[in-house]
Structure 1
């Protein structure tokens, strides 16, 4: 139950961490959006200022053109007045010219009436007056030509003024349209600025909400971490207790196996005389009696290196196999040479199991230093490549034959095993 609670808390913590990471990402996205909005706001502010400045410049230019246009209007009025005055003068000159022409005609008529060669003071006066009138006429004609020329120049100047006025009117209209265009742009920029301001306010509000939610999640995470730490301590204690119980169960199972093995051995030996292994002095008679009962009821196999019993029926741990052999006056096989290893491994061709316990172990020695019961160290040539490897696989203190080489294994593992007849008993069995 507590384990389930701990797993549930760990799952809740993982969910909170994922949500916290999601909120952090959302906050980063919010900051990025805020920065983007602020940059856009700054760009729009700069653009608005630039547009305002350009609009003011256009307006000043328009005002300047309008002043020039008003000045040209005044000059046009003056030209019109001057032309009107010149027209009046020309009319006066024409009227005077007509009057002089009439007087000149009268003078000619009078001359014709008087006749050629007649001289009188009035005639002389008339001639003089005629000459004077001719001079005035020429003067008036010259002045009239000058006035006409001035009138023509003023007309040209007026035409230029009208054309310039038309051009200025077009430019003024264009400036007014441009001013309207920029005013519309400024209005749109203001609307966009207001929209961005609303969006920025919304982003700020969202950020505040996310920050508040993140703070609440952090507090909840801290509380759950405290609760998880407390439950983790309890879970660790439970794991330690379970491990101790598991070790105790393994130990009890091994002891139970040993007891059952010994009980089976005792049941088999009830009908047989008990061999006293604690006797320090054994005479030849006792030796003959002991060796005579070795392997009784067992199927022994004789090889060039010795006499063996191969148990391929019941797989036992190493200690139980050793006890099984000793209870029958035998020993776990000590294949100390390659020939003996081959003799034991060759049993595989008889149809027996491929792996058999041997007497080699590092019990009582440094880890990995395997010895035979005789005290001799196991030769390195007898091992499979990479064996023994208990340094990397834990405590593997016992050795077994696999084919034609040795391998190490935990002594608690169960294998079939090979027992051998003690060397001192082989001659008696011959």
Structure 2
């Protein structure tokens, strides 16, 4: 079917959404244009392209793009396409282009900002419309590119809110992640996990702040963690971070959920990696921050404990364990998740190793936790393709959300406010209202 604005609006109710938003390929293609074609989307971190000519390939929605460090030392984001025959300029992955891009098909070359440099045997173009100064014969850059504290975002739309305004209330999560470095900077390090999930991209965003699922979906992992802790006679951090999912409902009900414009939000942390007074790793981290910022500021930085932050359309930074789960839609029922781990520049090496440990135990393809989620995401995708019903419930604490500057907050940590907020933004994007 062809969707009118009226029919799109009818897919989202105040307390539920129609299952077709997860299963209809036509809706998926509209999302690629109306959401990913307009919003600011995380392209990568500047540390992934440290030297002139370094490039990192990624996707903005359904578009293959290249993030590259130019001779001006700025980071550019270009569509991965040669304007001659349309070939991808570079294969997917990372590398260094040298001083220019060279198409492997016919050797057209382009400066690192995408502008046309040369084409072989120029006399063959005499008397034609070919003009190397015309944008038609250059690699096309995305309409807007901005860098916030090293995090590079790009938008395919020439107009719209600034990146700072777009991020709004979740800027503070990026700030806290960077401020945990005594130098105020982070860098991608330790490799990147990639996990293909058999589900629609929106399912993962909803689950990130779904506090009702943890002690049900992850029962096997937290039960095993508790059994091992009993055998050890203690609960080391490696087990503690799995045990946290098994907290009773009254624990989750007390958590704060924040929801902001454009579908963003964050939730309060569910555990602390260690107290300054008793944990030597945290203590050494605190001392490095205290030397850089002073005691009061260092305490404030480590005292800001958030679990998952949602930057809608891009993914989820986790400040305490310095990582970013980047969410890339592939098709209506396939989603690629890339887990980037960051080193806090100037912080003790033990902090970086702790971040790697968390990524391995919680988010890697071989973890004891992520497979639980992926199994359920797939079941949601499959179940929503049956004739067993048409609507997906978002009723928990509907109508009780409290307004805050730039968004809403929940009265209960098990509220489905984050899901409702995401679909309010989804609806606005799909109707062309933002």
Q: TM-score range by the shorter chain?
A: under 0.3
More strand by share: 2
Q: Larger Cα Rg: Structure 1 or Structure 2?
A: 1
Tell me which protein shows more helix as a share of its residues.
1
- Of structures 1 and 2, the one with the larger relative CO (CA 8 A, separation 6+) is 2
TM-score when normalising by structure 2: 0.20
